[in-house]
Amino acid sequence: MAELSEEALLSVLPTIRVPKAGDRVHKDECAFSFDTPESEGGLYICMNTFLGFSKQYVERHFNKTGQRVYLHLRRTRRPKEEDTTAGTGDPPRKKPTRLAIGIEGGFDLSEKKFDYDEDVKIVILPDYLEIARDGLGGLPDIVRDRVTSAVEALLSADSASRKQEVQAWDGEVRQVSRHAFNLKQLDNPARIPPCGWKCSKCDMRENLWLNLTDGSILCGRRYFDGSGGNNHAVEHFKETGYPLAVKLGTITPDGADVYSYDEDDMVLDPNLAEHLSHFGIDMLKMQKTDKTMTELEIDMNQRIGEWELIQESGVPLKPLFGPGYTGIRNLGNSCYLNSVVQVLFSIPDFQRKYVDKLEKIFQNAPTDPTQDFSTQVAKLGHGLLSGEYSKPAPESGDGEQVPEQKEVQDGIAPRMFKALISKGHPEFSTNRQQDAQEFFLHLINMVERNCRSSENPNEVFRFLVEEKIKCLATEKVKYTQRVDYIMQLPVPMDAALNKEELLEYEEKKRQAEEEKLPLPELVRAQVPFSSCLEAYGAPEQVDDFWSTALQAKSVAVKTTRFASFPDYLVIQIKKFTFGLDWVPKKLDVSIEMPEELDISQLRGTGLQPGEEELPDIAPPLVTPDEPKAPMLDESVIIQLVEMGFPMDACRKAVYYTGNSGAEAAMNWVMSHMDDPGRLGWGAGWGGAAARPTHFNPFTSTDFANPLILPGSSGPGSTSAAADPPPEDCVTTIVSMGFSRDQALKALRATNNSLERAVDWIFSHIDDLDAEAAMDISEGRSAADSISESIPVGPKVRDGPGKYQLFAFISHMGTSTMCGHYVCHIKKEGRWVIYNDQKVCASEKPPKDLGYIYFYQRVAS
């Protein structure tokens, strides 16, 4: 590289900016690849746009924008000294004491496992003229001051990825319990000793909770791995309804752990000292003797890298490296994302769409590629498939590699992808664990939005479902079709093959709990896959069905079949359900999934000779005469929501059936499933246990179209509806291929919300087609009415119903909101396990314990 002259630096001085608050500084990762400052060529950070680029892509940015001046950042790792604070007079490094990030006492994400030597230069393209950071002293003051302030500001600024990762998050923020000020405490309680506690129902002497109403001392919940307690404290709440309990051993003059079983959360009790004194406990004299719940959670977070419970434990696994075997770093409970994208980019259609067309996608990328969906998905696909980042983790610094480092690779960290795809989403934008099925559908929805006028890889999953409803009173039928992407397979527990063993286990468990003995070894229900398939295709009775032939209520049966078979069949095992108390639970079940699958018998037949269709007449609506807002039966609404329907749809059902009960409201929902724009489901609105099977991005409407009750003010009355749509939102929608008129209409219909407006357009495609056709018939040109043709319906592929298992995603934990995900994928004739950064040949893939299975059509 040539020496940078004063004249060259003066020529670009006006383009050098000092980053301000609110500017996104991308100095950790290339916008087009996963190269970082530690990569061989370092990272070039544009000193005008603050975007980072590897040596491979920096000239692309220069050619597109004309920006010439870059900060070249190159870091070299060296071993980190053990504890440099020893003997220096500085305090030692603190362990985290709060379940928090970015605040005092929380996890310090700035702490690194290595030390780095940093080389900083200013480089001017296209000739790569350069000057070192410490070589600016000889320049004129005006040049030196301007450049130095920009360089120092760039180096000290929090990067965009760090801001995303380190948003001050406090897992300890607790609310005051609603029971704290009126807690009932029984008279004449037993006096609680200051130590020597034991569960009153078993021999547990740790994890003990004092009920603040009656003074019972009971053990806590059992964790998914069998540790913890025996659930006696929560069982006591279910029996008595006494809500608050304090964890013994955590009581100090500063407070204690208080849990509200009624509110199902850790809470604050401002009157804790008074409540404890009722049992003879003086807070001021108590000392901490047990770990708080926060400390237990911190311990788990610090151990997470060693968590191998879900792996094929006890079996040495051979690590794999190279193209297609790239691991993904866990960005904080992001294993659900890692598992889903590993599977998707093992499918040729997604590879062709995003990886094979990488160069074209990058050429068409906007000035800021970090905000472009296609660019970031292509970058992710290339990172996974190229093999460039599938290499053993770096040496520890002394030239040797420990065994764990030989198994783990650096992999890739898809921060830009996660930030973009989760932007604005109430769940995926957080660091909380999520449901892999929910994320799969969310990603499918995002692909739909961005493939409107081009090749759509979602077609491999898309299929038509045929639903037949038969009125038993008249024998007349109704056939409907809907689009789906997942076959949700029920689990009939009564079909378990080991019923006797299960009954014996339950009896042993009951006896052990009564006699306060250790619980017996777990027995898992073994349900045949054939029974699950039979349950899927079995007729389902629909009570209180509104028969259009009778114009009255009747009983009907509904059967579900495939109207088409997709190239790739996605099967979700419905392990997550609700108990009788509406508490989500996971079925502990083993299902031997077949390697070869034939579902040809589930193909629908359509209307058969001799069958008579039900009249296509809408059921009567019950509309209250009073203009005032009516009262809706909240209990019925809750029942419908728990069955998996959106809140606004449930409110409409209760309203239009005149509060006639759950059966009538359910009938209304079932009768209006096919109404365009009436009902819809989007990813993220509920848990896997609640989602109905009829999710469809083509008919999905936004939930911000609530029921507007007579006499009440609704969204239409807000000032936002009258405000003109923001021009930047209009431009964004037009850039997706829609006309300006359509963009304006969508924004006005959704109170100028960009996210909701995009959803609104996709859910009203048929209406927009009709309007465009009307415009043309009235003499307006197609260019005036719509920028390009909009597909009138989803495209589905069809073929034989014979499949072969090629991947599955497994979950471990008691809920989709906790635990861990890994995936197994069959590649080159062998099974491979992808566990975040670990990619290994699988010795014994647990095919019977999966959550989501992916089958590939067998070529005929």
DSSP letter for 715, please: G
Q: What is the DSSP letter of 115?
A: E
Give the integer Cα–Cα distance in Å for 155 and 50. Answer: 11
Nearest to 437 by CA among 239, 692, 222: 692
Residue 716: what pLDDT? Answer: 39
Instruction: Give the closest residue to 703 by CA, choosing from 729, 677, 726, 725.
Output: 677
0.75 exceeded by pTM: no
| Out of 287-291, 353-357, 641-645, least confident range | 641-645
Backbone angles phi, psi at 797, to 5 degrees: -100, 155
Which amino acids are annotated as binding site for Zn(2+), given as ranges?
199, 202, 219, 232
Q: Angle at CA 171, nearest 5°, toward 155 and 431?
A: 60
Q: Is the per-residue pLDDT at 248 higher than 90?
A: yes
Q: Residue 767 carries which side chain, given as an amino acid letter?
A: D
- For residue 354, give Cα distances in angstroms to 345, 362, 416: 9, 10, 16
Contacts of 443 (CB under 8 A, 6+ apart): 340, 341, 344, 421, 683
Whole-Å CA distances, 782 to 737, 745, 772, 788, 793:
14, 17, 7, 8, 20
- 170 pLDDT band, cuts 50/70/90, is very low
Comparing C-alpha atoms, which of 704, 701, 662 is closest to residue 682? 701
**Angle at CA 539, nearest 5°, toward 533 and 542?**
135
CA distance 663 to 129: 76
In this prediction, residue 825 carries a pLDDT of 98
344: nearest Cα among 404, 396, 289, 417: 417
Q: Which residues are within 8 A (CB) of 423 and not within 5 positions of it... i.e. 6 or more apart?
A: 429
CB 283 within 8 A of CB 272: yes
Q: What percent of the chain lies above the pLDDT cut of 90?
A: 45
Tokens 């120092």 locate to 152
Q: Report percent pLDDT > 70 for the chain.
A: 74
Cβ neighbourhood burial of 633 (10 Å; 0-12, 13-18, 19+): middle
pLDDT category of residue 661 using cuts at 50, 70 and 90: confident
394 or 683, greater pLDDT: 394
**61-70, 313-322, 851-860: segment of lowest average pLDDT:** 313-322
The pLDDT of residue 655 = 80
Residue 263's pLDDT band, with cuts at 50, 70 and 90, is confident
Closest to 158 (Cα-Cα) out of 50, 314, 9, 299:
50
With CA atoms as reference, report the closest residue to 152 among 136, 141, 139.
136
Structure-token pair, residue 26? 């991308």
State the Cα–Cα distance between residues 108 and 129, nearest whole angstrom.
38
- Which residues are annotated binding-site positions? 199, 202, 209, 219, 221-224, 232, 259, 261, 264
At 226-243, the pLDDT tens digits run: 567 888 999 999 999 999
DSSP state of 598: E
Which tokens belong to 369? 């590629």
3-class SS of residue 687: coil
Residue 431: closest CA among 104, 98, 167: 167
For residue 234, give the DSSP letter: H
| Whole-angstrom Cα Rg for the chain | 31
Contacts of 324 (CB under 8 A, 6+ apart): 346, 384, 385, 387, 827
Rounded distance, CA 854 to CA 806, Å? 6
Task: Please report, as a single letter, which amino acid is at residue 464.
Answer: L
Q: Cα separations (Å) of 270 from 175, 178, 243, 276?
A: 10, 11, 15, 12
Instruction: Write the DSSP assignment of 411-425 as a string of letters.
Output: -B--HHHHHHHTTT-
At 696, the pLDDT band (50, 70, 90 cuts) reads very low
Residue 373 CA, chain-centre distance (Å), reads: 17
Among 19-33, 74-88, 217-231, 460-474, the range scoring the smallest mean pLDDT is 74-88
In terms of pLDDT, which residue wins out, 200 or 728? 200
Using DSSP, state whether 487 is helix, strand or coil. strand
Q: pLDDT of 396-450, one tens digit each?
A: 444 444 444 456 788 999 999 999 998 877 777 777 778 899 999 999 999 988 9
Q: Which residue has the tokens 């070299």?
A: 76
Does residue 629 register a pLDDT over 90? no
pLDDT in tens, 72-108: 999 988 776 655 544 444 445 555 554 444 445 554 5
pLDDT at 513: 73
Q: If we measure between CA atoms, which residue out of 388, 396, 317 comes closest to residue 355? A: 388
Q: At residue 209, does pLDDT exceed 70?
A: yes
Distance CA 36, CA 742 (A): 41
Average pLDDT value for residue range 785-807: 72
Least confident of 368-377, 484-493, 646-655, 831-840: 646-655
Q: Could you write out the DSSP letters of every residue in 8-64?
A: HHHHHGGG-----TT-----SS-SSSS--TTSTT-EEEETTT--EE-TTTHHHHHHH
Higher pLDDT, 268 or 776: 268
* C-beta of residue 410 within 8 angstroms of C-beta of residue 388: no
pLDDT at 552 over 70: yes
**Angle of helix 662-671 relative to helix 647-656, nearest 10 degrees?**
110
Q: Which two tokens stand for residue 112?
A: 């690194």
SS3 for 342-370, per residue?
HHHCCCHHHHHHHHCCHHHHHHCCCCCHH
Question: How far does CA 832 lie from the centroid of its chain?
Answer: 23
**Does residue 623 have a pLDDT over 70?**
no
Inter-helix orientation angle 335-344/373-385, to 10°: 80
Q: Which two tokens stand for residue 171?
A: 């897992």
C-beta neighbour count of 316 within 10 angstroms? 9
Residues annotated in a binding site for substrate: 209, 221-224, 259, 261, 264
Report the pLDDT value the prediction gives residue 781, as an integer from 0 to 100. Answer: 36
Q: Identify whether the C-beta of residue 142 lies closer than 8 Å to the C-beta of residue 16.
A: no
Q: How far is residue 183's CA from residue 654's CA, in Å, rounded to a whole number?
A: 36
Helix or strand (DSSP H, E) at 468? strand 463-471
Q: Dihedral angle at the C-alpha atoms of 343, 348, 351, 352, nearest 10 degrees?
A: -160
Q: Look at 219-228, 363-372, 397-406, 542-551 and tell me which has the smallest mean pLDDT.
A: 397-406
Neighbours of 270 (CB within 10 A): 12
Helix axes 765-777, 754-763, angle to 10 degrees: 70
Which residue carries 């370092």 as its tokens? Answer: 42
Question: Angle 373-385/436-450 helices, nearest 10 degrees?
Answer: 120
Token digits for 528? Answer: 């045949």
* Beta bridge partners of residue 246, listed in sequence order: 210, 258
Q: In whole angstroms, what is the distance from residue 42 CA to residue 25 CA? A: 16
Active-site residue set: 335, 820
CA distance 788 to 777: 17
In the block, tokens 């909240």 appear at 634
Measured distance CA(693)–CA(488) in Å, rounded: 7
Query: Could you tell me if 125 and 58 are in contact, meaning their C-beta atoms sit under 8 angstroms apart?
Result: yes
Q: Phi, psi (5° rounding) for residue 826?
A: -85, 115
CB neighbourhood size of 233 (10 A): 25
At 595 the three-state DSSP class reads coil
Task: For residue 820, give the H/E element and its range.
Answer: strand 820-827
For residue 70, the cross-strand partners are 46, 123
